[in-house]
Structure 1
Amino acid sequence: MRRSEFLRAVEDEFGPRSVALMNDLVLGPVGNRTATDALDAGVAPRDIWQALCAETDVPPERRYGVGRLEPRRR
């Protein structure tokens, strides 16, 4: 998962709450950091996405694939 895919996934899943969650919610699995701090520290976006989903009780069926780029059309 790329950083851009992660940011799109957060926006798609959380909408208007996404900025507050990224900046305020401390996530234990990524070193007791916020998602923003974890990104800045070089933590893999997929690891942050999984921690964010677990902490906010996102159902498993929405944890994979959200924010992925659409395939290129040929």
Structure 2
Amino acid sequence: MEGEFGPNYAHVLADSLVLSQYQMSVKATLESGVSPRDVWDAVCDQQDVPAERRLGRDIAPKR
């Protein structure tokens, strides 16, 4: 989430964004045992994150 929303706003979203699919905050949904992938997909759907950004930024390989 930090890669998409920034370090500060990601934490705000985790605590305050209620995922309509689960009727819980992001943090509570993760704590309830829902897989991080499913939670991320729900966040992306609800926040309209484009498909090309859902896997995060490309990181250059170490040499």
Q: How does 1:30-69 map to 2 (within 5 A)?
A: 31-63=22-54, 65-66=55-56
Equivalent residue for 1:22, pick from 2, 14, 32: 14
Paired with 1:60 and 1:34, the residues of 2 have a C-alpha distance of 22
Aligned AA for 1:11?
E
TM-score between the two structures when normalised by the length of structure 1: 0.70
Q: List structure 1 segments (4+ residues) > 3 angstroms apart after TM superposition.
A: none
Structure 2: gaps (5+ residues): none
Higher relative contact order (CA 8 A, sep 6+): 1
1:12 shift after superposition: 0.4
Paired with 1:40 and 1:53, the residues of 2 have a C-alpha distance of 19
TM-score between the two structures when normalised by the length of structure 2: 0.81
Structure 1: gaps (5+ residues): 1-9
Structure number having the greater helix percentage: 1
Aligned AA for 2:53?
R
